[in-house]
Structure formats: C-alpha cells, structure tokens
C-alpha cells in the first residue's frame, strides 16, 4: 500500500496523549502511536475499540474444560473402566482439579497465540521502527496524509502546541 505519512516524535506521555486526542478530534487519520511503554488512555484517544481477546480467552477455556471433562469420563468410565476403591465411574468431583488445570492451560496458551497472530508478531520478524528510541524514550505519532484537503501547516501547528521534538515524512511504508 502506498501512503504518505507525517511522523512526529514527542518526549512525554502528556504530550503524546494530548496530541493524539487533538489529532483524532480534528478528524486526522491516526495510523498508529508508538510508545516505549503502555500509555493508559492512548487507545481510547486514538479511537480504538475494546479488544475482544477476552472472549477468545473465555471460549478457549470453555472448550478446553469441556473436552477434558469428556476425556476423563471416557477414559475412566467407557474405554477401560477401572474400579478404584468402589468409586462410581462418573466421579465428577474427582475430575474437577484436572479439568480446571486444563481450562487454565488452554485459555492462556490460546489467548497468547491469538494475540501474537493478530498483532503480527512472530519470531525473527524484523521490526518496522518509525523513529529511533521508540523502545527507549521516544513517543511517536504517525498520521496519514489522506487527500488533497490535508493541510500540513495546520498539522505542524498542532504538533508544536504539544512540544514536538521532530517531524518527518514517510512514503509507502507498511506499518503494522
């Protein structure tokens, strides 16, 4: 995809929060914001929706638990029933601990796996860093220059209100 972006660097959390909110309110298209740590409130300032990963986690946990419970019934009561101290084949309370552990295991592993896939993170991927020091102390805002109505001067003014450190332009880069 070929797109033009304005990339601005800031030094503090307040500035990046303020400028992102202002840019979003101004109707500018915020491509992404890059920060050295999780800045709270930045996702809502960017207009992002709530992540649905919690549902993935819930579903994975449920599937894991149900499969494991079925497996315990099947092994202990159907495939090779073994009489252990005269206990019934369907000793449900005794199946709870392992079912719980497998629920936690599948919920955790699936959630992390889905997170890595949707965030396009994978081993050995070379990172696209829009500025130096993003993983150290720099907060970066990337705005797409959408159409002819885009006014670079006004955008620069906006950045300057929030103590911008440097501004650069990028072409045709894939950011993710």
Partner 1 sequence: MADSTVVLRPPLIDGNKTFAQVTSDVCSGMEGKPTPLWWASFLTAFSFLLLGGSAIGYLVATGIGTWGANRTIGWAFDITNFVFWIGIGHAGTLISAVLYLLRQRWRTSVNRAAEAMTLFAVMCAGLFPVIHLGRPWMAYWIFPYPNTRGPLWVNFRSPLVWDAFAISTYFTISLVFWYVGLIPDLATVRDRAKEGLRKKLSGIFSLGWNGSTRTWSRYEVVYLLLAGLATPLVLSVHTIVSWDFATSVIPGWHTTIFPPYFVAGAIFSGLAMVLTLMLVARKTMRLEQYITIRHVEVMCKLIIATSGMVGLAYATEFVTALYSGNPYEQFAFLNRAFGPWGWSYGIMVSCNVIIPQLLWSKRIRTNIAIVFVISIFVNIGMWFERFVIIVTSLHRDYLPSSWADYRPTPIEIAILAGTFGLFFSCFLLFCRFLPVIAMAEVKGVLNEGREPAHGHGHAEAAGKRAGLPERVSAMEGVRG
Is 175 an interacting residue with respect to partner 1 (CB under 8 A)? Answer: yes
- Would you put residue 130 in left (φ > 0), alpha (ψ -120 to 50) or beta? alpha
> Which region, judged by CB under 8 A, interacts with partner 1, from 1-9, 67-75, 144-152, 166-174?
67-75
Q: Which of 7, 8, 21, 155 binds partner 1 (CB under 8 A)?
A: 21
> Which region, judged by CB under 8 A, interacts with partner 1, from 1-9, 36-44, 147-155, 166-174?
36-44
Contacts of 151 (CB under 8 A, 6+ apart): none
Q: Which of 7, 57, 65, 158 binds partner 1 (CB under 8 A)?
A: 57
Distance CA(49)–CA(88), nearest Å, equals 49
**Token digits for 86?**
């005269």
Is 41 an interacting residue with respect to partner 1 (CB under 8 A)? Answer: yes
Residues 112-171 binding partner 1 (CB under 8 A) are: 112, 115-116, 118-130, 132-137, 140, 161-163
For tokens 């501004």, what's the residue? 167
Q: CB-wise, 132 or 146, nearer to partner 1?
A: 132
> Which region, judged by CB under 8 A, interacts with partner 1, from 1-9, 53-61, 146-154, 165-173?
53-61
């Amino acid at each position: 995809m070929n797109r033009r972006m304005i990339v601005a660097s800031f030094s503090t959390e307040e500035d990046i929060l303020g400028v992102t909110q202002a840019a979003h309110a101004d109707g500018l298209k915020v491509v992404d914001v890059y920060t050295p740590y999780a800045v709270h409130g930045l996702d809502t300032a960017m207009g992002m929706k709530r992540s649905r990963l919690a549902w993935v986690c819930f579903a994975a946990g449920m599937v894991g638990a149900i499969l494991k419970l079925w497996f315990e019934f099947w092994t202990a009561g159907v495939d090779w029933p073994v009489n252990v101290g005269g206990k019934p084949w369907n000793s449900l309370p005794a199946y709870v601990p392992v079912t719980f552990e497998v629920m936690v295991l599948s919920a955790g592993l699936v959630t992390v796996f889905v997170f890595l896939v949707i965030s396009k993170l994978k081993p050995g991927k070379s990172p696209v860093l829009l500025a130096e020091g993003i993983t150290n102390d720099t907060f970066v805002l990337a705005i797409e220059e959408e159409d002819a109505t885009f006014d670079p001067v006004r955008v620069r003014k906006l950045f300057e209100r929030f103590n911008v450190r440097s501004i650069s332009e990028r072409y045709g880069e894939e950011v993710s």
